[in-house]
């Protein structure tokens, strides 16, 4: 049937959506979230349908996304017909019934996800199905390749390109801010695309952003890496594997992460990595709870890397407590910067960074990787390299520790009993930091005054909450009320907690990319 275009000036979040009056939708035979085909002057697109009482009969409400493709004028007549069911939906259904998916089938799904031909409910069903049915390494490989092929790629035309990734889950992990300059200072290419926080207090992109702009496009990223071997940019503005950015939204609300493997590896493949080290923090309160699980994950990552042509090694690291003494973008960046300047002593952070950088060195043939990495820190070469990167990405290369903006509204949390720090609750610390404003407010976060094993007297400051806004500080204080982020006591105390009738449910889920 023919309808008149009604240009709404509404941005529908990336998907091609049109709005129909209920009567026209019934006539076409389509319901909300269904699909129609719109044709105007030989241009045809498939769009998802919304039903709106504000669109008059005889009109079709056009979103900005559809306008961009069809280039309509107000009240232009367009042809509308019901769209056939997308083939990808049949493939999702096949997976639902336990069938394995072939590359062509997976590619059809990924393509429809990226082009906006599948609605939220359908994408969610796919992700849920992957979680419950599992995906084998063939399917993970297909997903990774398809996600690379539906996004942009970085072409550096070099024989060796290294990369580093953490599967995340341990707070305060500012390791990348050390590894990238160490590696780049050694003359190896490391085009690091990093993520912003999803469930954590800060992602590497958030940390880096308190020193320099990180939302470079892929051409700008290329120029920085060609000039100084490394960069630390936000992956979200590069359009590498855009399907993943869509899948992750569903994963977030369901606390599931079935696309972990293809998600990581597609982004590494898209930047052309040939050698990759993956950090797998392990321990209670991290994403991986036991070394057994972590070893199995490592095996899959290495095999997937092999199939994609990426030499991959994994490093299993302690994840029982935050890395270093800070959580929150600016606090963490300042801590890492202090280490690079040899002004701050953070032994666990340095140990971890040198193990990761050292593994990369050894993968490409350099000996004594760990000590080599340490030398780049000691001699200030890594600091010099980071300043180069800051300059090329548009920041101030002469910045100092005083230049980090830290929230000035603070609360000190003190010990009510004496003993020793027996445990730290990563989730609780993150929850408090987020209530205080992280990751949005870069200056918000937590400074840890004590860590595992430290002796505690009554009244000792355990940690300090920083906020940029007093409203958020008081929100953090409210959250703190219900939590025990740091456990102090004698080593002989056995009690964890009681479970009573109608147990209280606590959301604790780690999703990093």
Considering the rule CB under 8 A, would residue 478 count as an interface residue with its own copies? Answer: no
Considering the rule CB under 8 A, would residue 131 count as an interface residue with its own copies? Answer: yes
Nearest approach, Cβ of residue 241 and its own copies (Å): 19
**Distance in angstroms (rounded) separating the CA atoms of residues 300 and 136:** 10
Nearest approach, Cβ of residue 362 and its own copies (Å): 39
Tell me if residue 257 is catalytic.
yes
| Footprint (CB under 8 A) of its own copies, residues 96-125 | 96, 104, 119-125
Considering the rule CB under 8 A, would residue 507 count as an interface residue with its own copies? Answer: yes
Nearest approach, Cβ of residue 125 and its own copies (Å): 4
Selecting among 257, 279, 425, 512, the annotated active-site residue is 257
| Footprint (CB under 8 A) of its own copies, residues 49-78 | 50-54, 64
Considering the rule CB under 8 A, would residue 505 count as an interface residue with its own copies? Answer: yes
Nearest approach, Cβ of residue 308 and its own copies (Å): 25
Nearer to its own copies, 87 or 100 (CB): 87
Considering the rule CB under 8 A, would residue 246 count as an interface residue with its own copies? Answer: no
Residue 509, Cβ neighbours under 10 Å: how many? 16
Integer angstrom CA distances of residue 486 from 76, 407, 439: 64, 22, 21
Q: φ and ψ at 139, to 5 degrees?
A: -70, -40
Nearest approach, Cβ of residue 275 and its own copies (Å): 34
x/- map, 30-49, its own copies, by CB under 8 A: -xxx----------------
Nearest approach, Cβ of residue 97 and its own copies (Å): 9
In the chain, % helix, strand, coil (3-state, to 5) comes to 40, 20, 40
Nearest by Cα to 213 from 227, 224, 199, 201: 224
**Distance in angstroms (rounded) separating the CA atoms of residues 247 and 225:** 29
Number of residues that bind its own copies (CB under 8 A): 49
DSSP per-residue codes, 344-362: S--HHHHHHHHHHHHHHHH
Nearest approach, Cβ of residue 437 and its own copies (Å): 8
Q: Please check whether residue 394 is in contact with residue 290, taking contact to mean a CB–CB distance below 8 angstroms.
A: no
Cα 329 → chain centroid: 14
Using the rule CB under 8 A, give the single segment among 81-89, 140-148, 210-218, 318-326 that binds its own copies. 81-89
Q: How many CA atoms lie within 13 A of 58 on its CB side?
A: 1
x/- map, 1-30, its own copies, by CB under 8 A: --------xxx-x------------xx-x-
Nearer to its own copies, 108 or 388 (CB): 108
**Distance in angstroms (rounded) separating the CA atoms of residues 254 and 258:** 11
| Footprint (CB under 8 A) of its own copies, residues 393-452 | 434, 440
Nearer to its own copies, 53 or 345 (CB): 53
Instruction: Name, in order, each residue with C-beta under 8 angstroms of 336's C-beta and a sequence gap of 6 or more.
Output: 174, 177, 178, 207, 324, 349
- Report helix, strand or coil for 458: coil
**Distance in angstroms (rounded) separating the CA atoms of residues 244 and 129:** 16
Look at strands 230-234 and 77-82 and give their pairing: unpaired
Return the residue of 41, 71, 75, 87 that touches its own copies, per CB under 8 A.
Answer: 87
Walk across the sheet containing 486-489 and list its strands: 455-456, 419-424, 486-489
Interface contacts to its own copies, rule CB under 8 A: 9-11, 13, 26-27, 29, 31-33, 50-54, 64, 85, 87, 89-93, 96, 104, 119-125, 127-129, 131-133, 249-250, 253-256, 434, 440, 502, 505, 507
- Active-site residue list: 257
């Amino acid at each position: 049937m023919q309808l008149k275009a009604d240009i709404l000036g509404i941005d529908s979040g990336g998907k091609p959506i049109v709005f129909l009056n209920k009567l026209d939708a019934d006539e076409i035979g389509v319901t909300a979230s269904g699909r129609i085909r719109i044709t105007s002057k030989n241009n045809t697109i498939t769009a998802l349908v919304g039903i709106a009482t504000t669109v008059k009969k005889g009109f079709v409400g056009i979103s900005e996304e559809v306008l961009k493709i069809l280039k309509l004028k107000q009240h232009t007549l367009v042809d509308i017909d019901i769209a056939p069911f997308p083939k990808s939906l049949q493939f999702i259904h096949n997976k639902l019934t336990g069938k394995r998916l072939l590359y062509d089938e997976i590619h059809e799904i990924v393509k429809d996800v990226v082009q906006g031909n599948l609605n939220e409910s359908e994408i969610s069903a796919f992700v849920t199905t992957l979680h419950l049915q599992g995906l084998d390494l063939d399917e993970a490989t297909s997903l990774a390749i398809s996600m690379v092929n539906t996004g942009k790629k970085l072409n550096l035309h070099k024989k060796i390109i290294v990369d580093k990734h953490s599967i995340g889950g341990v707070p305060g992990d500012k390791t990348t801010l050390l590894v990238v300059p160490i590696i780049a200072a050694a003359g190896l290419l490391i085009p690091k695309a990093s993520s912003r926080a999803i469930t954590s207090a800060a992602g590497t992109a958030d940390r880096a952003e308190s020193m320099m702009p990180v939302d470079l496009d892929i051409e700008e990223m290329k120029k920085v890496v060609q000039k100084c071997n490394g960069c630390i940019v936000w992956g979200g503005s590069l359009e590498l594997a855009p399907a993943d950015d869509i899948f992750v939204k569903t994963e977030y609300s369901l606390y599931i992460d079935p696309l972990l493997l293809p998600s990581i590896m597609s982004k590494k493949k898209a930047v052309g990595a040939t050698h990759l080290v993956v950090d797998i923090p392990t321990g209670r309160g991290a994403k991986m709870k036991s070394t057994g699980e972590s070893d199995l994950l490592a095996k899959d990552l290495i095999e997937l890397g092999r199939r994609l042509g990426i030499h991959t090694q994994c490093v299993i690291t302690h994840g029982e407590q935050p890395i270093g003494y800070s959580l929150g973008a600016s606090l963490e960046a300042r801590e890492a910067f202090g280490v690079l300047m040899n002004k701050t002593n953070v032994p666990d952070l340095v140990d971890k960074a040198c193990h990761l950088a050292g593994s990369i060195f050894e993968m490409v043939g350099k000996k004594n990787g760990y000590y080599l990495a340490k030398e780049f820190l000691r001699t200030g070469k890594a600091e010099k390299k980071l300043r180069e990167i800051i300059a090329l990405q548009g920041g101030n290369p002469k910045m100092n520790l005083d230049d980090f903006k830290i929230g000035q509204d603070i609360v000190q949390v003190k010990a009510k009993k004496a003993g020793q720090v027996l445990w730290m609750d990563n989730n609780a610390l993150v929850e408090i930091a987020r209530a205080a404003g992280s990751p949005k407010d870069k200056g918000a976060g937590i400074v840890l005054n004590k860590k595992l094993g430290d002796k505690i007297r009554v009244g000792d400051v355990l940690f300090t909450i920083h906020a940029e806004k007093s409203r958020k500080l008081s929100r953090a204080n409210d959250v703190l009320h219900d939590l025990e982020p740091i456990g102090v006591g004698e080593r002989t105390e056995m009690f964890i907690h009681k479970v009573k009738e109608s147990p209280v449910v606590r959301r604790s889920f780690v999703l990093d990319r």
